[in-house]
Amino acid sequence: MNEVKSALEIAAVDDSKFVLLSVVGSVFCCGLDFDIIVKHLKYNRKRASVKLEDTIKNFVNFFIVFMKPVIVSVKGPAIGLGASILPLCDVVWANEKAWFQTPYTRFGQSPDGCSTITFPKIMGRAAANEMLINGWKMNAQEACDKGLVSQVFWSETFTQEVMVRIQITSCNSFVLENSKALVCYNMNVELKQANERECEVLKKIWASAQGMEYMLKYVQNKIDAF
């Protein structure tokens, strides 16, 4: 998260007109690494939970306030924060093999990435609850139908399709940034408040004995399955 945030900080002040967020390989993002989180929380739960909260909150807030357009190309799975961050970006393209899941309750976690606000607004409350509470695994076409994804392309030609559709390179930077600002103007305060609430709940879960026990159980089950 800190590395992505640092890259965005550089992009915010250089002469680029937009950011293309993509990956090398077949997985877009698996979300938070609970093995690492558990290791941090084992030693000083209260202190580590505050640090983790600040890291996630700052990461998400940077997407909220980032002025240049962010285009995302999703290949493969986007899980947890990797899926919840997508509505904070401006254009999301996916190949047909991509899928999206936010199985927070299975991890003993609560939603993040402002998804408690963005998901209900984008896909309706019922579908948002299926994602955030029930852990619905949504395929690329379903994500497109629900508004989480802009367009879906074939895997074989995905990169070419993305590059062809990036037409804003010829646009004026001033126009791009101000157009985005107008679209986001009424949402930013609400998104920041949602991020604050979500991170506060996560901190409470991480600092609690019950939350720690559930995460340890999840990590152990994953090890046993492996």
Q: Give buried/exposed letters for 92-102 (b at 16+ CB in 10 A, else e).
A: bbbbebbbbbb
Q: At CA 30, angle to CA 113 and CA 34, rounded to 5?
A: 85
Active site residues: 32, 81, 112
Query: Are 150 and 87 spatial neighbours (Cβ–Cβ below 8 Å)?
Result: no
The phi, psi pair for 70, rounded to 5°, reads: -115, 115
| Cα separation, 85 vs 50, whole angstroms | 21
| Cα separation, 27 vs 30, whole angstroms | 7
